[in-house]
Amino acid sequence: MGVNIWENRGKLYLDIWHNGRRKRESLGLTIPADKTQRDEIMRLAEICKSKREAQILSGEWGLIDPVSGKQTLKEYMNGIAEGRGQNDFAHKAVKYLEAFSGGGIAIGSVTEKWLEEFQEFLLKETELSKKTIAHYSGAVRYALRKAARDRVIPRNPAVGVKGVTVPESDKVYLTASEIQALANISLAGELSAEVKNAFLFGCYTGLRISDLKSLTWGDIQRDPPLINKLQEKTGQKAFVPLHSVAWGIIDDKQLHNFKEPVFPALAATKTNTNEYLKRWAQKAKIEKNIGWHTARHTFAVLSLESGAEIYTVSKLLGHKNVKTTQVYAKATDKMKREAVNALPVIDLQGV
């Protein structure tokens, strides 16, 4: 392992040789013409070199990183959120770190008490929903867990702190008669009609809206009809046999390019199509608050009610853990009634 200062065209870099590989990192320093200033710049470069050597050695020997541990929790979480987009929970949680403590606490100074007080602040001093608070608190807890794993901090202070729990919400799903009521409603306009078809297709396949929008004809096997698709959210393959109703929705008796979207208008639109679903439900006189995920819930619940094993439904939905699928078993009263009705009947005349 070696770290040296390298100059190129008046710019200073660290020339690092580690584990048989060489890389160069810019120091963001420029060598001035003045000798006194040049000496000061080279002194700063030597300090950077020493710190970089310490970081590399700490990783090799399983020691705590002496540099990264001094950065603020805000800086560390911004690093995690970088490249994930504005909607990442780590990015959004930073705003509340700043409101709570100015965001200036060093990640190595976070304690169990600080984390408890931060969670209390979110619960009592903000108007966020409990679900959102759980997401933001979870983003902070993930950052601390990652920092401990990467030897940035000696231990994870979140281990001894209870997380924010969210009451299990009811899963909104549609009955067979409600699906039929929606199917009976005619919708004018290309996008409206395609939203209708895609939603009904989702009720028979369990696909998320992200997968419905990205679904191409290359993901469809025709004989027998089957979806073979890489899921957008999980990166896992989904293999879903197509029910005759689902196949009837998309089968236009034509050949398509394998890159062509199955639902092109839906794939291209930037419109919030949930509003289309709500107006459609109102026309069908369905009072449930439906969204795109309702189709996925409907597929799961109706599959279970039809006698499918929970493990099979879990695989159809692309869940990594069958526990994720178990919430749908709780969502249906029909299965409970059938279980109770299956109990043996006894003669009560003698009671």
DSSP 106: B
For residue 172, the number of C-alpha atoms closer than 13 Å in the C-beta half-sphere is: 12
Q: For 106, how many CA atoms within 13 A lie in the half-sphere containing its CB?
A: 10
**Exposed e or buried b per residue across 136-173, where buried means at least 16 C-beta atoms within 10 angstroms of its C-beta:** bbbbbbbbbebbbeebbbeebbbeebeebeeeeeebeb
Confidence tier at 68 by pLDDT (50, 70, 90) = low
Are 196 and 268 in contact, with CB atoms under 8 Å apart? no
Residues 330, 333: Cα–Cα separation, whole Å: 8
Quickly tell me which residue has 């949930």 as its tokens: 274
Which residues neighbour 56 within 8 Å (Cβ) at sequence distance 6 or greater? 1, 3, 16, 18
Coil vs helix vs strand at 67: coil
What one-letter code names the amino acid at 343? L
Beta bridge partners of 4: 15
Compute the average pLDDT of residues 53-65.
54
Please tell me which residue, 100 or 169, carries the higher pLDDT value: 100
301 — phi, psi (to 5°)? -70, -45
pTM of the entire predicted model: 0.59
Stretch 261-267: mean pLDDT: 95
Identify the residue whose tokens are 């919030």.
Answer: 272
pLDDT in tens, 15-35: 887 666 788 888 888 888 888
pLDDT for 332: 65
Q: Which residue has the higher pLDDT, 56 or 170?
A: 170
107 secondary structure, DSSP code = G
User: Is residue 273 predicted with pLDDT exceeding 60?
Assistant: yes
Whether 220 shows a pLDDT value over 70: the answer reads yes
Which letter, b or e, does each residue of 48-65 get, where b requires 16 or more Cβ atoms within 10 Å of its Cβ? bbeebbeebebeeeeeeb
- Give residue 198's pLDDT: 96
Lowest mean pLDDT among 48-52, 125-129, 280-284: 48-52
Over range 282-310, report the average pLDDT: 92
Q: 4 exposed, middle or buried (CB, 10 Å; 0-12, 13-18, 19+)?
A: exposed
> Are 50 and 40 within 8 A, CB to CB?
no
Average pLDDT for 122-147 = 91
Q: What phi, psi does 3 have (nearest 5°)?
A: -130, 125
Residue 176 has pLDDT above 80, yes or no: yes
pLDDT grade, residue 114 (50/70/90)?
Answer: very high
User: Three-class SS of residue 29?
Assistant: strand
- Name the strand (E) or helix (H) holding 57: helix 35-60
Residue type for 106, please? A
Lowest mean pLDDT among 50-64, 115-129, 156-170, 213-227: 50-64
Confidence of residue 348 (pLDDT cuts 50, 70, 90): confident
pLDDT at position 283 is 95
DSSP string, 147-207: HHHTTSSSS-GGGGSPPPP-PPPPPP---HHHHHHHHT----SHHHHHHHHHHHHHHTT--
Of the pLDDT bands very low, low, confident and very high (cuts 50, 70, 90), residue 243 is very high
Neighbouring residues of 191: CB distance < 8 A, sequence distance ≥ 6: 265, 266, 269, 271, 273, 276
Average pLDDT over residues 311-326: 84
Quote the CA–CA distance of 264 and 276 in Å, as a whole number.
16
Class of residue 341 by CB neighbours under 10 A (exposed 0-12, middle 13-18, buried 19+): exposed
* pLDDT for residue 64: 45
Residue at 280: amino acid letter: W
Residue 56's pLDDT is what?
61
pLDDT at site 307: 85
SS3 of residue 134 by DSSP: helix
